[in-house]
Structures are given as C-alpha cells and as structure tokens.
Chains A and B, each alone.
Chain A
Amino acid sequence: MNHLLEVDNLHVQFDTPQGPASAVDGASFHISHGETLGLVGESGCGKTVTSLSILGLIPSPPGYIKADRILFKGRNLLNLSSEDVRKIRGREIAMIFQEPMTSLNPVLPIGRQVAEPLIAHKGISKAKAFKEAIKWLDYVKIPEARKRLYDYPHQLSGGMRQRIMIAMAMVCHPQLLIADEPTTALDVTIQAQILSLIAGLKEELNMSVLLITHDLGVVAQMADRVLVMYAGEIVEEADVMSLYDRPFHPYTEGLLRSMPILDKQIGDKLHRLTEISGIAPCTTGLTQGCKFADRCPFAFPLCSEKRPELLEVKDGQRARCWLRDYPEKRRHHD
C-alpha cells in the first residue's frame, strides 16, 4: 500500500443549465513511485478533469468533487485545507498543460515565470530563484538560458515554450508530474523531443508521471500502465504490453483499430482506418447500462440494462465489460 497516489471512487460533477453533468464517474486508480501511467480517451471523457481534481483545481461552483479518498503520500488531499493543497501544487505535484501558447503569461519574462514556483513555495530570494531557473532552462535544453531569462513568451517557438512549461513544473522537484496532452499542440519532431525530455527527467529524478493523451502512439512509447477512460469511467486498465496485445474492452479495441499503421497493407489495397461509429454520449442524466452500449459492435440486451463493473480479466488486466462473463458474444464480423 505504498503507492504514491491513490484515487478511490472519484466523482466530479458540474452544474449545467441541463442539470448536473458528471464528468468523472467513479474513477479509481493508483500511481506507484517511478511509474508512468497513461490516461487515454477521446475528447471530453474526463481525462483533464480527473487530473485537475487531484490538484484541487476544479472551480466550485460549478464543479463538485466527491471521492472516497485521494491519497497522496499517505495524506488524504480531500481533507486538507485549500492552503495546504496549494502548498502541494507545484512543489510535490506539478502539471504541464496542453497549450504552451496560452499557458505562459504574455507580459512576464520567462525567467520570472520559471522562478515563480520557487518564490511561491520556498520563499528564497529572487536572485537565487533565477539561478535555479537558469539551471532548469539549461536542463530542458534552452540555448543560452541566461540571456533567455528576459525573453517574453512571444519570442519563443511552441516547442521552446513547452520546454519552459516543463522547467516551470520541475523547479521544485515534484514527485508526481501530471502531463496533460503535453505534445498535442506540437509537431511530430518537437513532440519526440519533448517526450524524450520528460522520459529522461522521470528516470533521473525517479518521478512518477501521469500522462494524459489521446495519442495511443505516445502512450505506447512512454507509459508503463494504461487507463482507458470513456464518458467519465475507466473502462479498461492494463499494462502497456497487454493493452496493445490483447485489448479487452470493445472501446479500447476500437481506439487501436482507428490508429493508422504505416507498414500494414491488406492485399494490394491500403488498409482503411476503422472509426468507432457514433459520438461520445452526453453526460447529463443517468444511464442504466454500459455507457458504451450504443456504440458497441457487440452490444447485447444485458449491456443496456445493467452497468458492468471494472473487473479483472487476465493477469491484472481489468475491464468494465459484460463480455468478460459472456465471451461468446464477441463475434467479429469482418
């Protein structure tokens, strides 16, 4: 029981004009020391909300967090005062955001922004914080870090800004880094650089990473274990090899099949990508059965009547699907 982070039965709801919408619906997971956990799912399935609720950054109202517990290093974050949670943010749990273009303050020099967590948490002098900032800018491979301290964000490219964001997240040596789609806004070559930078930092500092993405390629490259989320629920959990080898949940299967495979050709024709039909469901109101039932190619009557539990299917791989109990229903039509 010495996981770094343990989340039990997390619910997050938002008030909307259409009534309460549940963005996260009973998510439980853990992250061990030095582990990279991938959190995958399509847009709007609750990935970002999950990470923000760990940091206590869900604005309330309209958002409400309910959970049995969110244990970080043995402390239940839900019982801490907002001031205590603030002290953990940036110092012990840090976060990198998706949009490096808008996540930096346009009117502050970057050195100041990188030094900010140090000044906020450790109360060290500005000069010392700047020295530390230079060290980290060097580390994330910003050329001529000392000169760059006084540059403004608009003078830097997207990749550089994401490095700045990483430096900002790292200055206080957090034990957990939450990377929310860190490479989505970047082009592929820069993406590879940023990912290897994160991987390197993680190794060197024995840090844990919660990697949120919708890019299965990124997950395959980075993660040890993967959670697949759909409509606010965790539908499958597996180590990365098993997930790609034998995905259990039809949603995971669908995600993997909708990925382009460059070297695979069927016959003479190019392999056509398969999409998952339908759209992600609206999360207001209650659904009785499995949330994926409407889009599932294998759905049978039970699926829309009763909600499946997240249960083990094989060697630690868990899935939330009735196919576990009724494997004969899985028929591939192709």
Chain B
Amino acid sequence: MKRFFGNLNFTLGFILSLFIVMMALTSLVWTPYDANSMDALHRLARPSLTHPLGTDQYGRDILSRVMVGAVNSIIVGLVTVGIGISLGVFLGLISAYFGKFVDEAIMRLSDLLFGFPAVLSAILITSILGPSIINAMLAIGIFYIPVFARLTRAVAMTIWEREFIEAARACGVNEIYITWRHVLPNILSPLLVQATIQFAVAILAEAALSYLGLGTQPPFASWGRMLNEAQTFMTLAPWMAVFPGVAIALAVLGFNLLGDGLRDTFDPKMVRKR
C-alpha cells in the first residue's frame, strides 16, 4: 500500500478516480434534483445556491446530470474494457501459444483494426447499427480487442520462455493449465495498467460519440451529450458546457494518472525523475 501511495501519480489519480466513482455511487441513491425533470421557470439559470452548477435549456439541474453522467461514463468504461480484455486476452494467449500461422493471422487482423482511425470507425459502426449507447460501447470495445491482444501476446511470449514453465511441464501439468495458472497471473499487472488507461480513453471516446449524437440518446444524461446540447447556448449559458467538460477532463486525467502510477509501481526498473 505504501509503495502505491508513495507515487504521486498514483495518489492523484486515485483521489480523482475515487471522486468520480463516489459521485456516480451517490447519484444512484440521491441527486439534488431528478436529473431528467424539467423546470420551465428556471431555464438557463446561473449557478446559485439552489442550482449549484446552474440549469440547462429545459431547466434541468446540471449538477444532477453531471452526477448521473458519471454513472454512464463508468459503465461505458467497464463494458468496453470488459469486451476488449476478454476477447483480446483470449486471442493474445492463443497467438502466443500457437505462434506461426495462427499468430500471423490474429496479429495481421489486429493491424487491420489498428489501421482504421478508431473514432471514424466507431462512427461507421454506430451509423450502421443505429445510434445508441449500446452500439457505441460495442464499437469502442471492438477497437480495444487488438490493444489487449497485442499486449497479451507480447508479454505471454516472454513468459513461455521462462524456466518455471519448463518446470511445470516436467511436473506433467497440461498446457491449458499452464496457460491459466502460470502464464495468465504473470501478465496481470501490465493488463491492469493498460485497462486503467483504456478506461480513460473510453470515457473520452463515449463523450465524443455522444457529442456527435451517436452515443447516449436524449433524455439520458451523458457528459458528451450535455456538451452537444450546450453548444447552442454557449454565449447565453456557458456553465452548461463548462461543468460537463470539467467532469470529462477530471475523469480522463484521474484514470490516466492511476494507470501511470500503477505502471510505475509495478515496474521498479522504470524510475522516473521528477
């Protein structure tokens, strides 16, 4: 524990991420106002004591919407990283174990996916499948598969060369068991680091898609969606754009720092000067 919190990146990232998570958890049981209820009398209200972050063009409380948006972002992060990790690790392990043709096939497919600009392809997928949050998560998740597949393959290949694998074989343990028991646990830390960073990227990607109207659909709250709606009222009510924007920045920064910090503490050889 001390090892982790001795790292400035990790500590900052942890606090920020914890803040976002707490916000999301709180919104599940309590928000200042109902995030979707409109109040025509208080449209575009400035931040005040009754509405700390102001209201939007329908008089919805922005603080409540930012809180609910955090839930949305965290779900997007979890689901996309989940899709990426489960399929990516599976493919990466297969690639590393079989090598040769199988490896070539999987890795060239990954290259192909990498070759597309991710956001553009996500737009393509969501426009084919129809704009919805589920499809947006699917699109982002698919682009995470090669990220995790490559990482897993690279690390797993070095693990297979280690002596304890030979020792396990000499004990008569079968290859599937070796993969599960000996290879996988040894690649968990780089995977965890990557997952944290991809989590941040997913929040940003979902915001981008929602901003373009391809992610979360109205009336549900999403930080990207809120930015989209805010742009028409930019001069009239800048708080409509500022607060969701700050939320996105804090969340992305937090999870990125968390990932960086984890990498630093997992890899003592990578000493950074600061």
Contact = CB atoms under 8 A, between A and B. Distances in A.
B164 interface: yes
Interface string A80-98: 0000001111110011010
A257 to B, nearest CB: 33
Nearest to A120: B173
A102 B170 contact: no
A89 B171 contact: yes
Interface string B159-195: 0001110111111111001000110011010000000
Contacts of A90: 170-173
Nearest to B185: A107
Contacts of A165: 167
Given A107-B185, A116-B181, A94 B163 contact: no
Contacts of B162: 102
Contacts of A261: none
B155 to A, nearest CB: 12
Contact of B167 (A88, A97, A120, A121): A97
B166 A108 contact: no
Contacts of B186: 105-107
Contacts, number: 66
A120 B172 contact: yes
Contacts of B172: 86-91, 117, 120-121
Interface size class of B (residues with CB under 8 A): 10 to 19
Interface residues of A, number: 26
Contacts of B163: 97, 99, 102-103
A210 to B, nearest CB: 13
Given A120-B174, A120-B177, A89 B167 contact: no
A94 B168 contact: no
Given A116-B181, A120-B177, A105 B170 contact: no
B169 A116 contact: no
A117 B173 CA distance: 7
Nearest to B172: A90
Contacts of A120: 171-174, 177
A168 interface: yes
B136 to A, nearest CB: 36
A55 interface: yes
A104 interface: yes
Contacts of A117: 171-173
Nearest to A112: B181
Contacts of A86: 172, 174
Interface in A116-157: 116-117, 120-121
Given A105-B182, A108-B182, A116-B181, A97 B174 contact: no
Contacts of B177: 120
Contact of B168 (A91, A99, A107, A116): A116
B167 A103 contact: yes
Nearest to A57: B169
Contacts of A88: 172
A121 B170 CA distance: 12
- Residue of A91, A104, A120, A169 ringed by the most chain B CB atoms within 10 A: A120
Given A103-B163, A103-B164, A97 B170 contact: yes
A89 B169 contact: yes
A99 B174 CA distance: 22
A24 B86 CA distance: 44
B99 to A, nearest CB: 11
A36 to B, nearest CB: 19
A103 B172 CA distance: 15
Interface string A154-190: 0000000000010011000000000000000000000
Interface string B138-168: 0000000000000000000000001110111
12 contacts: A86-B172, A89-B172, A90-B171, A90-B173, A94-B170, A97-B167, A105-B181, A105-B186, A106-B164, A107-B185, A108-B185, A117-B172
Given A86-B172, A103-B166, 16 more contacts: A87-B172, A89-B169, A89-B172, A91-B172, A97-B163, A102-B163, A103-B163, A103-B164, A103-B167, A104-B167, A105-B168, A107-B185, A116-B168, A120-B171, A165-B167, A168-B171
